[in-house]
Structure 1
Amino acid sequence: MNQFARYPSLEGRHVFISGGASGIGATMVEHFCEQQARVSFIDIDDVSGEALAARLTGQGGEVHYRHCDVTDIQQLRAVIEAAADEWGPIGALVNNAARDTRVPLKELDVETWDDLQATNLRHVVFACQAVFAGMQAAGGGSIINFSSPSFLRRSRDISAYSSAKAATIGLTRTLSRDMGDAGIRVNTVLPGWIITERQKALWWNPELEKQVLENQSLHQRVQPEDVARMVLFLAADDSRMMTAQTYIVDGGLV
C-alpha cells in the first residue's frame, strides 16, 4: 500500500463496516487499519471475523469484531450502540453487507423477495438512522452505501437483488438531503466483477472471466483493493464536499 495515498483525517477515526469478515469487506477492514483508523466490523461468519480481527490486532491495529445478522434490526442497532460506547461516535459508516442470491423469476416467491430486501436494503436505512445522532453531535460524518452494477448490466435471475441495489442509489441521494444539515455526507459505491471465494464457488469460470475482461475498457481484473481505496477516499476529509454521488469501480464494464 506504500504507493497509494494516506489520509491523515482517518487516523483515529471510528469506522463501522458491515459484512467485514471476508471478500471486499475484509479488504476494507485491512485498509482502514493501515490508515490507523479504529475499525468496528460485523458479520455472521464468526470464524473468519474473529481470525481477521486477531490478525490485525496482532499487527497493531485497533479493530473489534462483533457478530451481527443485519436482518435483525434490533441486534444491528445494539451493536452500533456498543461500538460507539467503546470507541466514541462513528465517523464513517460502510454499509457493505449483502447477498447476491440468484433466483429465476418463475421461482421467486414472496418469502425470498422479502428476505433479499432485508439482507440487501432494509438494514442500510436503519444503520444510517442509528449513526445519525452521533455523527450530528460530532459535527458530521461520512456514509458509504454499497450498490451493484447488476441492474445496469441487466443481469439475469437476480431481480430481487438488483431491485434492492438500484433502490440503494435512490436512498443514498435522499439521505444526503435528510442528513446534510448535520454535515453528514452519503455516497454510493458500485464494485465491478470481483472474483471472491463465493463467486468462484458458485458461478465463476475462465470463459466468463474472458468475456468480462474483454468487455471492460481496462482489461485487468478489478481487485478488492481497488474498491477499498475508493471507500477510503470517501470516508476521509479529502472528499468533504462530495455527497449524493454514485461511484462505479468496474474497469469500465458498464
Structure 2
Amino acid sequence: MENIIETCKSLDYSWLPPEIGNFKLNVTGPDEIVKAQETLAAGEAVLTLPLFHYENDLGWKWCALYDKEVEDYTVHVVMPLFTFVDISFVRQEFEPYWQGLQERCVQGLSKLLINSAENFTYTYMRKGLQNWDYESVMPAELEGFVRDITPKNAVRMINGSYIIGEYRKMDECTGLLLYYNEYRDEFFAELRYQNYPEIDHHLDAKSLDDLEHVLSEHLKNILCELNSRG
C-alpha cells in the first residue's frame, strides 16, 4: 500500500470540474493519504484510498479510489441502498486509470447517473419501461418512503440488471429496490432494513401488466411491514 500512497501523493486534481450536472466535487485524496500514512504507521491495514468523489443532494456518489482488496484502481457508485463498481474504469496500473478518468469522467458519470436513458438498451426500450405510466402503482411518496429512482431514470448495473425503482427513508438505509433483468426478462425486488439485504418475492413478475398488478397488491404492505420493525 505504501507504493500506492506514494503514487497518489502529489496528484493534480485541477482538471476536475467543480460540478457535473447536480453533482458536486469533493477532493478527498490529500486528507485520505495523511490518514492512510498514520494508519500504516500504527501497524493497521488500509483497505481503500479514496481520491475524489462527486455527490448530489440525494446522497448518490461516484467515487474514484484504490481498492486494496482487489488491488485495482476503480470507481464505486455508492447509493443510499446499494453500491456497485463501474467496471469500465477499473485498471491495475495508475497511469491508464488516471488517463481514463481525465478522458471519460464527465461522460461516465453523466451517462450513468444524470442522463441514464443513454444507457437504455434495445431490450429495455422494447419492454416499454421508458414510456410506462407507473405513477398509479409507484407514487412519489408512500408510507414515509421517498421514490428517487423510476423507470425513466433507471440505473444500469452489471449482469443485465437495471434498478427501475427505489423507495427509501431519507435518514436511514431502509427501503426497497425494484429491478428489471434484461437477460432473464423478469422483474424482482430486494429489501434493505438498516442496510441488511433481503429478498422479497411478492413483486416477482414477467410482464409490465403483471408488475402493475403485484405493485398495486403488495407495495404498500411491504413498506408498511418495514415501518413496523424495531
TM bucket normalised to smaller: under 0.3
Q: TM-score scaled by structure 2?
A: 0.26
Q: What is the TM-score of this pair, normalised by structure 1?
A: 0.25
More relative contact order, 1 or 2 (CA 8 Å, 6+ apart): 1
Larger Rg: 2
